[in-house]
Structures are given as C-alpha cells and as structure tokens.
Amino acid sequence: MHSVVCIKQVPDTTEVRIDPKTNTLMREGVPSIVNPFDMHAVEAALKLRDEYGGKVTVITMGPPQAVEALRRVKTLGVDRTILLSDRAFAGSDTLATSYIITQAVKKIDSEDAVDLVLCGKQAIDGDTAQVGPGIATRLNMPLVTYVIDIDSVDTEKKTITLKRSVENGRTALCVEYPMLMTVLKELNEVRYASLPNMILATNFKAEVWNKDDIGAEMKNMGLDGSPTAVRKIFSPPVRECGEMIPHGIEQPDVAVHNLIEKLSHNKTI
C-alpha cells in the first residue's frame, strides 16, 4: 500500500503574521511546526505500511525552509520525502495549492502507483480545509473527510473500512481506493521518533521538485492562478460575555418575568 501524505509547515502559534500591504502570510522568522493534523495523517500512513506493507511518501509545498517539516517526519520513519518549491508557487491560494500538489501526486503515481492520499482536516494557519478536497477533485478520487478511525484494508478488493466524524456521531464507510482522506486528531497517537531515524534525519536530503519537474502551468499557480484574493485580514472583535438572569433554575417564572421586563425596557420586544 503506497500512501502519499501532504503536510504543511505552519507557524508555531495561533498569531499568524500577515503582511498588511499584500495580505499574504509572512512565514520568515516565525518558528514553525508540522501542521498538527498532518502528523496524525503521517502516523496513519505509517501504521498502514506497518500492517499491510508498502511505503509512505510525504510531500510539502513551501519555501526552502519547509524541508524542516520533512526532516521532522523523517524521524518517524517515512520512506520518501519531496519538497515542492519554486518561486512560481508563491502567492498561491487554495485552488492553486491543490493544483500544484495534484501535479506532484500524479508524478509520484506515474513512478509508483498511489493507493491513498492523506491530508490533515485543515491547516491551523489558513484554516480553510479546502486543499484536501481540492486535490481529491482534481485526481477524481473518492474523498472522505474527518476520518477518526481506520478499521481495516482489503488489499484484494482494494477497499478500506473507516469511520468519519459527523455532527451527531460517526459514520462507518467502506470505500474503494485509490482515495483521499482528511483526518482528525482522534484517529491515532503520533509515535515518538526512534534514535536510528533521528540519526538518519540529521543527514537526509529531501528531493526538491520545481514547477518543471511536475509539469505545472504558470497560469494555474501563484498569484496568476489564484482567483481568490484576501481583501482584508483582521482579528474578530472579542465577544462580550452574556448577561445572566438570576433564579433561572429554582424560580423560572421569576426569571421569565425579569427577562420580559428587561427586554420591554430595552424596547427590543
């Protein structure tokens, strides 16, 4: 089973720095981590490899320093790591990002057939949760979001049985693969790095692919290939806490009376 996991390097903070002139994310100088959801996607792929054989390829799109994200997952024992990096990728919105990653997955698939593509539910900086579904759509693969459990894989029938989180519970599904899933943190516990893998990771060199390597067209990436533009970014105003009406439980009739009084007084009813 060959899994490709998409990981994103994100700032290690909820305070994403934004260039006020260009409305783009400023990553330089901000300590970075692997997007936490993506670590669970990597763990899921490693578990599948451990149980059913195959390999795990991890890709990330970003500036040269995103190689550190790949080094981090190398310490967990992934087989292959690829950094998608090119100045032409800069300024890509989620549509362009999913195009670039799709091109890379197609190339990987042409070398070594891909069974599963795994993504995190969302990135903690961009927070759109659009990239995974965008890749699945472009690859014309079945998509399952919010995966919380992978029960089993039937390698003969090429199906995977899993559970996904829905608003009021969970749904069990049996899906044919190749498919793409986005995962939640409940899916698993991320393993610790082993000493041999940590030593391997210190000297490793990720493969770096540019736009020509993946056959990406200029019109589909960067600012030119991004139909959405951020007009303004701002922190939402802090919500004021609500007012408590006393005696709500022990004397509900009094509480209702007080509430009506208050609302009438405010001329809101």
Ligand X SMILES: Cc1cc2nc3c(=O)[nH]c(=O)nc-3n(C[C@H](O)[C@H](O)[C@H](O)COP(=O)(O)OP(=O)(O)OC[C@H]3O[C@@H](n4cnc5c(N)ncnc54)[C@H](O)[C@@H]3O)c2cc1C
CB closer to ligand X, 57 vs 97? 97
Strands 18-19, 24-25: pairing kind: antiparallel
CA atoms within 13 A on the CB side of 78: 29
CB closer to ligand X, 81 vs 97? 97
Which residues, including other chains, have CB under 8 Å from residue 65's CB and lie 6 or more apart? 9, 27, 32
Closest CB to ligand X: residue number = 126
Q: Give the three-class secondary structure for 162.
A: strand
CB closer to ligand X, 90 vs 172? 90
Q: How far is the CB of 264 from ligand X (least distance, A)?
A: 45
| Two structure tokens written together for 83 | 């950094």
Q: How far is the CB of 8 from ligand X (least distance, A)?
A: 4
Q: How far is the CB of 76 from ligand X (least distance, A)?
A: 15
The stretches of the chain forming alpha helices (DSSP H) are: 36-52, 67-74, 94-111, 131-139, 195-203, 252-265
Q: How far is the CB of 251 from ligand X (least distance, A)?
A: 48
Cβ 64 vs Cβ 103: under 8 Å: no
Long-range contacts of 224-227 (CB under 8 A, 24+ apart): 225/92, 225/95, 225/96, 225/99, 226/91, 226/92, 226/93, 226/95, 226/96, 227/93, 227/95
CB closer to ligand X, 7 vs 73? 7
Residues binding ligand X (CB under 6 A)? 6-8, 24-25, 35, 37-38, 60-62, 91-94, 97, 101, 119-120, 122-123, 125-132, 226, 228-230
Q: How far is the CB of 215 from ligand X (least distance, A)?
A: 18
| Two structure tokens written together for 222 | 């960067």
CB closer to ligand X, 119 vs 201? 119
CB closer to ligand X, 23 vs 53? 23
CB closer to ligand X, 126 vs 258? 126
Q: How far is the CB of 165 from ligand X (least distance, A)?
A: 15
> What gap in Å lies between CA 35 and CA 32, rounded to an integer?
9
Q: How far is the CB of 7 from ligand X (least distance, A)?
A: 6
b/e per residue 94-124 (b: at least 16 CB within 10 A): bbbbbbbbbbbbeebbeeeebbbbbbbbbbb
